[in-house]
Chain A
Amino acid sequence: MGSPIIELAGVDKTFESRAGATEALRAVSLTVDAGEFVSVIGPSGCGKSTLLRIVGDLVEPSAGAVRVKGKRAHEARLDRDYGIVFQTPVLYDWRTVLENVRLPLELAGRPRVERQQRPHALLRLVGLDEFAGHYPWQLSGGMQQRVSIARALALNPSILLMDEPFGALDEMTRERLNQELLQVCTETAATVLFVTHSIAEAVFLSTRIVVMSPRPGGIDRVVTVDLPRPRVDKTRAQPRFFELVTTVRQSLREDPGLASGDGRPGGPE
């Protein structure tokens, strides 16, 4: 693959509160190369979302270095180098679908022509242009999340950070959106960091899967997904698909994370 886009080295995160300190992440090191689709999977509360937010400079790490496109995470955020999708769509109620997708373009002060045309192009990409004038609550959950993906792509970022974007959707919608997401990623050539707790979803989408141990979260194992691309519906029926699902499931079960330090961070297996 290409050059490193996201580099985490020895990242710790401890949340301080009146109830005491909670160690969320310990010694996490990970490198994501350009064009990769890396999923982060682990039990609830293992710090997956925190990890993603640290990459996006929405949460400060307690220790360690984070570099995004060779810059400090803070600078990368100010340069709007990434698009983000949350678990909930986080659409603004007072804006129509079109206006929600336009928000990043307004904030970045993009020229008028672009502000008028790009949102429509993005909505066509996710198949929702006919709903441009609707308000978010008039759309189904899956459609809202597609709007949120279109918004994340508005500034044509080279990185997509996705925090369990399909976690709240039913299985059928989720599979369809997985497929759509891969198409969108191929078209936009974005590097993706994807948090999920669905094993099948991780295997279907990813080039690599990072398996995390429970609190404090660390990287247990990195599974390279060698399924051929492009991934299609048939991919889910391949024997190799099931093998990989089993591998990931066992990694999650074994969970040697307690003997911390042996989670070989960084490079692929």
Chain B
Amino acid sequence: MLVAIAVVWEAGKAVIAAYLTFFPVTVNMSRGLRAVDPDALALMRALAASSRQIFFKLRFPAALPYLFTALRISATASVIGAIVGELPVGSRFGMGVVIINAAQYYNWRPANLWAAILVSAVIGIVFYQAVAAAERRVVSWSRTAPAI
């Protein structure tokens, strides 16, 4: 029974992390799908494109820069979500647990807390860089792709 709860709770952390990323990604992507240059759309109409072709050959690629902007914001938000998800009692491992424990023993070993925070920050940066690297690969055609 306890094992089952633990498994559900570990999944719950992922849900919280996903939940924090959901809105920025959805809002940005839907905006990107609609913010298509009217003449680019007129061209598709002039070429008698089907709505399926308009989506895959125009709307979706045009929205990719918006998607990646949202993913970069979300990369750090998801790390925060995962850590916060571990804070309630009951979690047995993860950065959130380490931070809570280190905070309780701060007077005894202050370096532990700072180390935990540093590691969390590094995880956030790594996530961000991973998304940025993916962006450079996928949206390599963009003039505005991030250099960092």
Contact = CB atoms under 8 A, between A and B. Distances in A.
Q: Which of B37, B40, B48, B58 has the most CB of A within 10 A?
A: B48
Interface residues of A, number: 24
Given A92-B40, A94-B61, A107-B57, A78 B48 contact: yes
Taking residues whose C-beta sits less than 8 angstroms from the other chain, chain B's interface range is: 20 to 34
Interface stretch (A81-89, A244-252, A253-261): A81-89
Contacts of B64: 94
B42 A58 contact: yes
Given A77-B48, A80-B47, A108-B47, A86 B42 contact: yes
A56 B57 contact: no
24 contacts: A56-B46, A77-B45, A79-B48, A80-B47, A82-B46, A84-B42, A86-B39, A90-B37, A90-B40, A90-B42, A90-B43, A92-B40, A92-B57, A93-B142, A94-B139, A103-B47, A104-B47, A106-B57, A107-B44, A107-B48, A107-B53, A107-B57, A108-B48, A135-B141
Contacts of B62: 92, 94
Interface in A58-75: 58
A38 to B, nearest CB: 19
A102 to B, nearest CB: 11
B137 interface: no
Contacts of B142: 93-94
A84 B53 CA distance: 18
A30 B112 CA distance: 83
A88 B53 CA distance: 22
Interface of A: prevailing SS: loop
Contacts of B48: 77-80, 107-108
A88 B61 contact: no
A53 B39 CA distance: 11
Contacts of B118: none
Contacts of B139: 94
B140 to A, nearest CB: 9
A77 B57 contact: no
Interface of B: 37, 39-40, 42-49, 53, 57-58, 61-62, 64, 139, 141-143
Contacts of B43: 84, 86, 90
B111 to A, nearest CB: 49
Contacts of B49: 107
Given A93-B142, A135-B141, A58 B57 contact: no
A137 B45 CA distance: 24
Interface of A: 53, 56-58, 77-80, 82, 84, 86, 88, 90, 92-95, 103-104, 106-108, 135, 137
A41 to B, nearest CB: 21
Contacts of B42: 53, 58, 84, 86, 90
Nearest to B53: A107
Contacts of B46: 56, 58, 77, 82, 84
A95 B43 CA distance: 15
A93 B43 CA distance: 14
Nearest to B143: A137
A9 to B, nearest CB: 22
B57 A93 contact: no
A90 B37 CA distance: 8
Contacts of A57: 45
B59 to A, nearest CB: 11
Leading 7 A-B pairs by shortest Cβ distance: A94-B61, A84-B46, A94-B141, A90-B39, A78-B48, A107-B49, A107-B47
